[in-house]
Structure 1
Amino acid sequence: MTLFKSAPKSLCVLRLSAIGDVCNTIAVVQSIQQQWPETQITWVTGKIEAQLLKSISGIEVIVFDKSRGWKAYTHLWKQLKGQRFDALLHMQYAIRASVATLGIKARYKLGFDNVRSQDFQTFFTNVKVPSPDSMHVLDGLRAFASELGVQNTSPVWNLQYLKSDLDWANNYLQAKKRNLVIVPAASKDYKNWTVSGYAKVVEHAYRNGWNILLAGSPAKNEVELAERLEDALSIPVTNLVGKSSLLQLLALLDKTDLVIAPDTGPTHMANAMNTPVIGLYAHHNPERTGPYQFREYVVSVYAEAIQKETNCSLDELSWRSRVKDKDAMQQIAADDVIAMFDKITQDFNLTNVKN
């Protein structure tokens, strides 16, 4: 039994962070828009994530700036004063997101069921969305749209950017070579792969005629890792880490031929743009958090690492079990990433130089 037989007048989406999860949520929101284009959608999100939401149309974006502390909540509730939504999609179980719902009026407040809910989210919702059999984050989010009454929740992304963003990207992409964008770092250092591993992959790609670019945010750890990688190489790469806006980065990931990255936002941005991506995973199960359309091209040591750490097989563990060893990413072998590079370039016919 679904909540709506016809288009609801208004919906509120609550997904504050992070970039990868926002990318997955975009696919759900756009499936709702596809069926009910007349429905007014308001999305409450974080300050950085709001930059990415400029890439989609037909929604009102309200920024929740967590750095403001309690004032972030009072500012949010003041902006929504007088509004009552047909449904609130509480798509983030963090306690700070749940507190935000206290000032959002809605007939239905949808949240995860007991299988996926954490941090007491169930106390803040009156509709528990049944968890699908698939463990992937996106499939859990798609279930919200199904609960509303959306018939086709197959993920399709339609993200746009300005011509100026494209022009910026084209300044660095080479028209007559294949282009590889490497995002070396995630926001959390333990998710990062090794400089020596990246260097071997870069050298392999360069020998095969590829143009290599480094990309990422201006966060100190990302800039420093890219600089260490540059120093370790004797071949030229273009280092753009910290030098792009989020939509410039989106354009770059859209127009490049291939992306290699750890478990980080740009991995999912590439996925959303249908750009082949090799995800590097050790701490989280890529069947849950990997790039949705390219999970078969993930290089993962998660299964080995979690078994070593717990003495349990995957079947015996919770689907959200995380590897705690901060050195787990070092177990990824450069030869395995190179082999996956060769496989994905063949599968997507990227072995030949562009005409």
Structure 2
Amino acid sequence: MPLFSSPPKSVCFLRLSAIGDVCHAVAAVQALQQYWPETKVTWIIGQVEAQLLQGLDNVELIVFDKKSGWSGMKAVWQQLQGRHFDALIHMQLALRASLLTLGIRAQYKVGFHRKRAKEGQWLFTNCKITDTASTHVLDSFFSFIEYLGVPRTLPTWSMPISETERAFARQQLDHKPSVIICPAASKDERNWLTERYAQFADYVVSQGYQVVLCGSPAPREQLLAKQIADLMTQPVINLVGKTSLKQLTAILGEAKLVLAPDSGPAHIATTQGTPVLGLYAHSNPKRTGPYFNIEDVVSVYEDNVTKQQGKPLTELAWSTRAKGADLMQGIAISVVIERFEHMMKGVALND
């Protein structure tokens, strides 16, 4: 039986980070809004992630600064003083997020099934979703709203990107058919090899596309982009560190294809309907891959993790990671080019 037989008056979502997971959560939040348009939605979210989602239709964002510790938690609780939600949807396993729930009043506090509730999350909730089988993070997020009473649908997104940001993207790409490379993951070991990014980019330019490098202003990302550009023999546009998150989203939306390792931009591109060629070695792409392009991922994850664990994938926990600083070396340039050609077959340059 679903938790609610009629629309709840108010629901609070708690998902602070990271960018990719927040993109998955948007689809679940908007599916709830489509089914229960009268339900008031509040979302407690991280500071960086809020930059992407500011202006999300009919969603009250309450920003939590993770770096501020207890004072940040108290600031959130103060904003919610005197308020009581019909349900709190606790979508984050980190202990810090669970502690944050202590000052949020809700009749039902819904968390992951105990089999999946790491860091003692189950201690902070009074309802558990039944889902233990979903592989992909997005599907497990949809299990939360299904538990409330919202029927399962295909994920869709309406991101708060303005016409100004869309115009910026068109101007930067100059209306040319573009392939975007977002080379940096959150950890350097999850990046593909610099020279292979450069080789792939040169090949793509030779096929008539413009290549654009995108990423955050982090020094390590800017250095990686410079190294890729320096190794290339063909021209490249380097926008790393030169866009806001919303401008980046608009640019990804204008692309013919996005190449990325396990990273936020891969999932942002999915929200824009842009095909994503994902590169995976450390995490299971069936769990964290670009949702509509899982079959297009180039992955050496299964080989690595089964070798390291000595067990087949079916016997491993859904979140098991492969470990090692050189695993991405296993992804050959020839395989990535072959996958690119397959994905672009039938796509006209001037569409």
TM-score by length of structure 1 reads 0.97
Deviation at 1:196, TM superposition (A): 1.2
- 2:128 aligned partner, one-letter code: K
- Give, in whole Å, the separation in 1 of the partners of 2:60 and 2:333: 44
Deviation at 1:68, TM superposition (A): 1.2
Q: Deviations 1:313-336 (Å, cap 9, x if unpaired)?
A: 212322211011121112111111
- Give, in whole Å, the separation in 2 of the partners of 1:55 and 1:321: 35
- 2:127 aligned partner, one-letter code: V
**Residue correspondence of structure 1 range 212-223 to structure 2 within 5 A:** 212-223=211-222
- Give, in whole Å, the separation in 2 of the partners of 1:122 and 1:313: 28
- Give, in whole Å, the separation in 1 of the partners of 2:349 and 2:124: 55
Give yes or no for contact 1:16–1:45 (8 Å, CA) kept in 2: yes
Give yes or no for contact 1:131–1:140 (8 Å, CA) kept in 2: yes
**Residue correspondence of structure 1 range 1-355 to structure 2 within 5 A:** 1-54=1-54, 56-175=56-175, 177-346=176-345, 349-350=346-347, 352-354=348-350
Name stretches of at least 5 consecutive residues in structure 2 with no aligned partner.
Answer: none
- 1:82 is paired with a residue whose SS is coil
Greater shift, 32-41 or 153-162, is seen at 153-162
- Give, in whole Å, the separation in 1 of the partners of 2:4 and 2:41: 15
Give yes or no for contact 2:262–2:279 (8 Å, CA) kept in 1: yes
- Give, in whole Å, the separation in 2 of the partners of 1:151 and 1:133: 17
- 1:109 is paired with a residue whose SS is strand
Shift of the 191–182 alpha-carbon distance from structure 1 to 2, 3 Å rule, reads same
- 2:120 aligned partner, one-letter code: F
Name stretches of at least 5 consecutive residues in structure 1 with no aligned partner.
Answer: none
Deviation at 1:8, TM superposition (A): 0.5
Q: Deviations 1:75-101 (Å, cap 9, x if unpaired)?
A: 010000000000000000100000000
TM-score by length of structure 2 reads 0.98
Question: Could you tell me the percent identity over the aligned residues?
Answer: 48
Give yes or no for contact 2:285–2:299 (8 Å, CA) kept in 1: yes
- Give, in whole Å, the separation in 1 of the partners of 2:159 and 2:53: 9
Greater shift, 156-165 or 2-11, is seen at 156-165
Q: Deviations 1:155-174 (Å, cap 9, x if unpaired)?
A: 11111311221121112214
- 2:3 is paired with a residue whose SS is coil
Shift of the 172–282 alpha-carbon distance from structure 1 to 2, 3 Å rule, reads same
Give yes or no for contact 2:53–2:160 (8 Å, CA) kept in 1: no
- Give, in whole Å, the separation in 2 of the partners of 1:291 and 1:340: 15
**Count of aligned pairs between the two proteins:** 351
- 2:335 aligned partner, one-letter code: D
Give yes or no for contact 2:199–2:232 (8 Å, CA) kept in 1: no
- Give, in whole Å, the separation in 2 of the partners of 1:29 and 1:211: 35
- 2:163 aligned partner, one-letter code: K
Greater shift, 242-251 or 322-331, is seen at 322-331
- 1:259 is paired with a residue whose SS is strand
- Give, in whole Å, the separation in 2 of the partners of 1:9 and 1:262: 40
- Give, in whole Å, the separation in 1 of the partners of 2:70 and 2:56: 29
Q: Deviations 1:172-204 (Å, cap 9, x if unpaired)?
A: 2142x4210000101211111111111111111
- Give, in whole Å, the separation in 2 of the partners of 1:71 and 1:153: 39
- Give, in whole Å, the separation in 2 of the partners of 1:188 and 1:261: 13
- 2:274 aligned partner, one-letter code: T
Deviation at 1:214, TM superposition (A): 0.3
- 1:284 is paired with a residue whose SS is coil
- 2:157 is paired with a residue whose SS is coil
- 1:190 is paired with a residue whose SS is helix
- 1:12 aligned partner, one-letter code: C
Give yes or no for contact 1:183–1:215 (8 Å, CA) kept in 2: yes
Give yes or no for contact 1:132–1:143 (8 Å, CA) kept in 2: no
- 1:45 aligned partner, one-letter code: I
Greater shift, 94-103 or 304-313, is seen at 304-313
- 2:119 is paired with a residue whose SS is coil
Give yes or no for contact 1:115–1:131 (8 Å, CA) kept in 2: no
- Give, in whole Å, the separation in 1 of the partners of 2:11 and 2:39: 7
Measured on the aligned residues, the alpha-carbon RMSD in Å equals 1.1
Give yes or no for contact 2:50–2:63 (8 Å, CA) kept in 1: yes
Deviation at 1:152, TM superposition (A): 3.4
- 1:69 is paired with a residue whose SS is helix
Deviation at 1:26, TM superposition (A): 0.3
Deviation at 1:132, TM superposition (A): 4.9
